Amino acid sequence: MINIPHPRSNKEKFQRLEDTYNNAINISFPSVPDPPLPPTLPLLNYTGTYFHPAWRNLTLVLQDGSLFINRPDAVWTKSFHLVHVTGDHFMGFVNRDSASLALKDAYPMQFEVGSDGVARKLGVAGEQAMGEEKLWFGRIA
């Protein structure tokens, strides 16, 4: 016999997912200074292409004053809208305007800036099993 969950439990599960998505910044960054620290660099200086052997390329672009990540060469072409949190910490929202929770996700992100003032790496906390560890993408262009 198949155990089909009661519709109410699905509704509650989806509400929890929606709440987690809508509160992703507060959940991932519980201790942000007030006011938040400004980014180390002008947003344009974070743009470029970053590479990780498993995820391949992430290309950051500046559009309408915000950073976006495109993955045009990926099988599943996720697009991220980066929201500044504090310093070099951002939250990357996937498909923020989608009505489907299955297509929504949020990833804490952090840039590593070299002593020369160039963004060298982008860390993405994309795997729950890794805890606070990040997948690091090195800047290639």
pLDDT digits (tens, 9 = 90+) for 13-25: 777 878 888 899 9
Which pLDDT value is given to residue 3?
46
Residue 113, in any domain of the structure? yes
In the chain, % of residues over pLDDT 90:
57
Q: In which domain, by residue range, is 68 found? A: 7-139
Q: Rounded to an integer, what distance in angstroms lies between the CA atom of residue 76 and that of residue 111? A: 23
Whole-model pTM: value is: 0.83
Which pLDDT value is given to residue 4?
47
Which pLDDT value is given to residue 69?
93
Predicted confidence (pLDDT) at residue 31 exceeds the cutoff of 80: yes
Pairing of strands 119-124, 105-113: antiparallel
Residue 23, in any domain of the structure? yes
Residue 71, in any domain of the structure? yes
The domain that holds 83 is classified in CATH as 2.40.128.600
Predicted confidence (pLDDT) at residue 140 exceeds the cutoff of 90: yes
Q: Is residue 108 classed as helix, strand or coil in its secondary structure?
A: strand
Which pLDDT value is given to residue 79?
82
Residue 86, in any domain of the structure? yes
Which pLDDT value is given to residue 115?
92
Residue 81, in any domain of the structure? yes
Question: pLDDT, tens digit, for every residue of 101-120?
Answer: 556 788 999 999 999 999 99
Residue 2, in any domain of the structure? no
In total, how many domains does the chain have? 1
For residues 27 and 131, the model is more confident at 27
Residue 132, in any domain of the structure? yes
Residue 1, in any domain of the structure? no
- Over residues 4-13, the mean pLDDT reads 64
Which pLDDT value is given to residue 92?
94
Q: Where are the beta strands (DSSP E) in the chain?
A: 48-52, 56-63, 66-70, 79-86, 89-94, 105-113, 119-124, 135-139
